[in-house]
Structure 1
Amino acid sequence: MKNYTFMNLRLLSIPFLIAILFLPLFSFGQRSAAEYFEEGNTKARASDFAGALQAYSVVISINADHAPSFFNRGLAKANLKDHRGAILDYDRAIEINPKEALYYQSRGVSKSMQEDYRAAIQDYTRGIELNPDDSKSYYNRGVSYAKLDNHRSAMADLDKALVLDPSDVAAYYARGNCKQHLHEYAGSLSDFSKVIEMSPKRAGAYAGRGSAKIELNDFQGAAADFTRAIELSPNEAAYYDKRGFAKNKIEDYKGAISDYDKTLQLEPENYQAYYGRGFSKNKLNDQKGAILDLTKAIELKNTYVADPKKIQYAGPINKTILDELRNQVKEHVKIDDLTTERAEAYFIRGISKSKSGDSRGALLDISTAVELNPTYADAYFSRGLIKSSIGDQMGAVLDFSSSIKLKTNFPEAFYLRGIIKHSLGEVNEGCLDLSKSGELGYMPSYKVISTYCN
């Protein structure tokens, strides 16, 4: 039985792989592993990646050595933007079957999405060794080289990709960018013109060609290209900024001011736009306006004039966001048999005190419950919630870790430990916790992963 795997990553595309399912047809809830595998494929093709993930997990629980299920589950996680979790699944698929080129290429994509370009290059290289005629592997490796500013190696790979597939618009586009970094502006202009010929509604190609024309002193042509880019993508601040620069060069100062006004409307802290507008105002003899704009250009986001003591650094998950994410978690407090030590009563009374705003009293009661019953996973979990709410994030992490140790399939505990670790700067560890939470079925994890882990 042949089953098609899937891939829908937009940055670095990967072709389909035909996977044959070799599994003993054990019954699992009166359904076979093959049926769960096919269900996963069906859900994946319908873009139900969360559902696909769960189906592949069932197959893995039946046969822990089935490489296609680990690979497909990795693809599902990647499409949910959980690239750390995807890499773990690709690792296992490669461990089981180290001869499949697509496994390496897919792992390379997820590593690239995590900006681990050196490791991605190693994977793409291994993929090329196993399948030397795959243009996408050369393209992907070229993009990774470019991200590391190794533009010569990037160019060599992109050249090879275009030999293998002359219709690859993305490769022309990437090579055009590389040529600009190498100051090969005429070649860059040629590549972007080829992109425009093949895909005439790609705004970035007009912008890239416009930038090449600026370097070649064709400011009129550059302004025309940025005009076309703006028509296709009217909310891109950089296009107005660049067109303003070109207009300044051809002494259209009023037109330049109009473009810089639009730039600052879209991007109020663009200090380069203040500089360009200040220059235009100076040329139009509006010296008061020029001074105001140029002062902004000097002071805005300038670490050379700021007082370092006033600079505050905060991660993407700051206290406000952490509080919001944590407060969305619902506790599933259930009634348990009351033991002789009455730990359960202390626990529920602690929950009641917490809901009444008495955090101190709640901590005392729940801590008593933990002392009376050191294996009380739910009590550690609730105490972690309270500690986090009053700012004791390290204490909260310890409590969530205790609850996970006692109840290994506790998705909310992984979720909360993940967002707290992320807020404390342990981004990779936090995102791995979020990945595990999602794998265990807590779907809000993937929204956080999408926003803060990529």
Structure 2
Amino acid sequence: MKSFIASWIFIALCIGSVSQSVAQRSAAEFFEDGNAKARAGDFAGAMQSYSAVITMNPDHAPSYFNRGLAKANLKDHRGAILDYDRAIEINGKEALYYQSRGVSKSMQDDHRAAIQDYTRAIELNPDDAKSYYNRGVSRAKTENQRGALQDYNKAITVDPNDVPALYARGACKQKLEDYAGSLADFSRVIELSPKRAGAFAGRGYAEIKLNDYKGAIADYTKAIEISPEEAPSYSYRGFAKAKVDDYAGAVADYNRALQLNPDDFEAYYGRGFAKSKLNDQKSAIQDLTRAVEISNSYTADPKKIVYMGPINRDVLDRLRSAVQERIKIKELSSERAEAYFIRGMSKSKSGDSKGAILDMNSAIDLNPTYSEAYFSRGLVRSSTGDQMGAILDCSSAIKLRPDYSEAFYVRGLIKHSLGDVNGGCLDLSKAGELGYTPAYKVISDYCN
């Protein structure tokens, strides 16, 4: 997206004019001087020229806009937004003003506001592929992949050879698990721009998902030829080689991936697997141990958990404690898992968290599909500070019961409290959608 900012300058420089009276002729000269400096890459000098025009003519929207572009090229997006605001205030009918402000907002990670600007730009100029593409990028950033796909489709309809839109659509389709469609898009990108390593890597990943491992190896090899310092390309090629039983080749690729990125736990996992197949069990165990340990929040010491943001430990405990589990008596099975579970609930209510967890463990051992036991164990674990264990239990409950609204609610609270605000709010939204209405009060207080 950054590349668009520079390219727009040459379009923008032609917008607007300054009248040729004696007093304003100097303003016109400053304006053209700013344009010349911007074309030469002297954005600081261009800003000074546009500022001179604004001093002489405070209502000259193109000067505010061009000065905003100059600031954006100097990565001063906050300052750029202020200039775009003023340009729009003077002339609210120029699509490019909104599009450019959207870019600067997206650079500030304010994607929701950026989407509003791109939408207005599209209303004013529905045939501009860039506004659709940019809105698609921001929609993807807010996890609206289907909305992003619609925008990329429109951008490509307007311009069938729009390489960035084709590339972005290929990546978007992978997130939507349309790997055949993704492969087609990356293939088209390669036809139009055969030196893009990312396109070969993207097609290679689609081929892995489609079980075409030889094709994936060939594409990742090409990606590596173009860009030999990208660790993921070696890691994925290693994975594809392991799939075709080339374990020695896989180890070589994982070695290179780890040289480039020593914290790539997936590469340790893949290399450990390949070494195990090559009967190097001691080394395999070392690699797999690293795969388990590196950046694994699920093995974190509960005492070292950091509560981030407004849902701190006290708020989390209060909101979680208000959850009322709707448990009905069940017929006692021959394994008596239900008795362990209810006894665990009673121990929890009497303050014996350790005993409660032991009983719920037994209930789950006896009945691995006992969704209520997973969820209730998650509640107890959260109350003891084991938030990662609680997330795992809530996730297990949701896998067993996809409509388990309370599990989405509690998992959302915990995610939010640990700093995953977007993931937490999405879980809270799902809880509300499934009928757990207290979620909407939390959304109102903590997600907006």
TM range (shorter): 0.5 to 0.7
Q: Which of 15, 19, 32 is the equivalent residue of 2:15?
A: 19
Structure 2: distance between partners of 1:100 and 1:302: 49
- Report the counterpart of residue 73 of structure 1 in structure 2: 67
Task: Check if 1:215 corresponds to 2:209.
Answer: yes
In 2 relative to 1, CA 190–12 (structure 1 residues): closer, same or farther, beyond 3 Å?
Answer: farther
Asked if 2 retains the 8 angstrom alpha-carbon contact of 1:142 and 1:158, the reply is: yes
Alignment of structure 1 residues 442-453 onto 2, 5 Å:
none
By how many angstroms is 1:12 displaced? 9.4
Structure 2: distance between partners of 1:311 and 1:133: 50
> What secondary structure sits across from 2:185 in the alignment?
helix
Instruction: Show CA shifts across 1:58-80 (max 9, x none).
Output: 22222221111110010001111
Structure 2: distance between partners of 1:11 and 1:241: 34
Asked if 2 retains the 8 angstrom alpha-carbon contact of 1:158 and 1:175, the reply is: yes
- Report the counterpart of residue 33 of structure 1 in structure 2: 27
> What secondary structure sits across from 2:46 in the alignment?
helix
Task: Check if 1:231 corresponds to 2:198.
Answer: no
> What secondary structure sits across from 1:9 in the alignment?
helix
- Report the counterpart of residue 84 of structure 1 in structure 2: 78
- Report the counterpart of residue 142 of structure 2 in structure 1: 148
User: Once superposed, what is the RMSD of the aligned Cα atoms?
Assistant: 2.3
- Report the counterpart of residue 165 of structure 2 in structure 1: 171
Structure 1: distance between partners of 2:230 and 2:6: 23
In 2 relative to 1, CA 64–285 (structure 1 residues): closer, same or farther, beyond 3 Å?
Answer: same
In 2 relative to 1, CA 43–305 (structure 1 residues): closer, same or farther, beyond 3 Å?
Answer: same
- Report the counterpart of residue 111 of structure 2 in structure 1: 117
- Report the counterpart of residue 251 of structure 1 in structure 2: 245
Which amino acid in 1 is paired with 2:296? Answer: N
Task: Check if 1:276 corresponds to 2:279.
Answer: no
Asked if 2 retains the 8 angstrom alpha-carbon contact of 1:67 and 1:94, the reply is: yes
In 2 relative to 1, CA 25–288 (structure 1 residues): closer, same or farther, beyond 3 Å?
Answer: farther
By how many angstroms is 1:11 displaced? 7.7
Structure 1: distance between partners of 2:6 and 2:119: 15
Q: How does the TM-score come out when normalised to structure 1?
A: 0.64
In 2 relative to 1, CA 13–297 (structure 1 residues): closer, same or farther, beyond 3 Å?
Answer: farther
Which amino acid in 1 is paired with 2:180? Answer: A
**Gaps (5+ residues) in structure 2?**
309-448
Structure 2: distance between partners of 1:91 and 1:289: 60
Structure 2: distance between partners of 1:114 and 1:25: 40
In 2 relative to 1, CA 71–284 (structure 1 residues): closer, same or farther, beyond 3 Å?
Answer: same
Asked if 1 retains the 8 angstrom alpha-carbon contact of 2:54 and 2:63, the reply is: yes
Instruction: Show CA shifts across 1:227-279 (max 9, x none).
Output: 00000000001111111111111111111111111111111111111111111
By how many angstroms is 1:22 displaced? 2.8
> What secondary structure sits across from 1:301 in the alignment?
coil
Structure 1: distance between partners of 2:3 and 2:199: 21
- Report the counterpart of residue 296 of structure 1 in structure 2: 290
Alignment of structure 1 residues 96-111 onto 2, 5 Å:
96-111=90-105
Structure 2: distance between partners of 1:41 and 1:184: 45
- Report the counterpart of residue 380 of structure 2 in structure 1: none
By how many angstroms is 1:38 displaced? 1.1
Structure 2: distance between partners of 1:267 and 1:25: 63
Alignment of structure 1 residues 340-351 onto 2, 5 Å:
none
Structure 2: distance between partners of 1:12 and 1:67: 19
Identity score, percent: 68
In 2 relative to 1, CA 302–118 (structure 1 residues): closer, same or farther, beyond 3 Å?
Answer: same
Asked if 1 retains the 8 angstrom alpha-carbon contact of 2:53 and 2:63, the reply is: yes
Asked if 2 retains the 8 angstrom alpha-carbon contact of 1:209 and 1:225, the reply is: yes
Structure 2: distance between partners of 1:236 and 1:257: 17
Task: Check if 1:45 corresponds to 2:71.
Answer: no
Structure 2: distance between partners of 1:298 and 1:125: 44
Which amino acid in 2 is paired with 1:185? Answer: Y
Asked if 2 retains the 8 angstrom alpha-carbon contact of 1:101 and 1:126, the reply is: yes
In 2 relative to 1, CA 275–8 (structure 1 residues): closer, same or farther, beyond 3 Å?
Answer: closer
Q: How does the TM-score come out when normalised to structure 2?
A: 0.65
Which amino acid in 2 is paired with 1:41? Answer: N
Asked if 2 retains the 8 angstrom alpha-carbon contact of 1:26 and 1:62, the reply is: no
**Gaps (5+ residues) in structure 1?**
1-6, 315-454
Asked if 1 retains the 8 angstrom alpha-carbon contact of 2:5 and 2:100, the reply is: no
Number of residue equivalences = 306
Structure 2: distance between partners of 1:303 and 1:12: 41
> What secondary structure sits across from 2:235 in the alignment?
helix
Greater mean deviation of Cα atoms: 136-145 or 217-226: 136-145
Task: Check if 1:199 corresponds to 2:193.
Answer: yes
Asked if 2 retains the 8 angstrom alpha-carbon contact of 1:278 and 1:294, the reply is: yes
Which amino acid in 1 is paired with 2:201? Answer: A
- Report the counterpart of residue 161 of structure 1 in structure 2: 155
Alignment of structure 1 residues 397-436 onto 2, 5 Å:
none
By how many angstroms is 1:305 displaced? 2.5
Which amino acid in 1 is paired with 2:11? Answer: F
Asked if 2 retains the 8 angstrom alpha-carbon contact of 1:25 and 1:32, the reply is: no
Q: Which structure dedicates a bigger proportion of its chain to helix?
A: 2
Which amino acid in 2 is paired with 1:269? Answer: D
Asked if 1 retains the 8 angstrom alpha-carbon contact of 2:18 and 2:27, the reply is: no
By how many angstroms is 1:312 displaced? 9.0
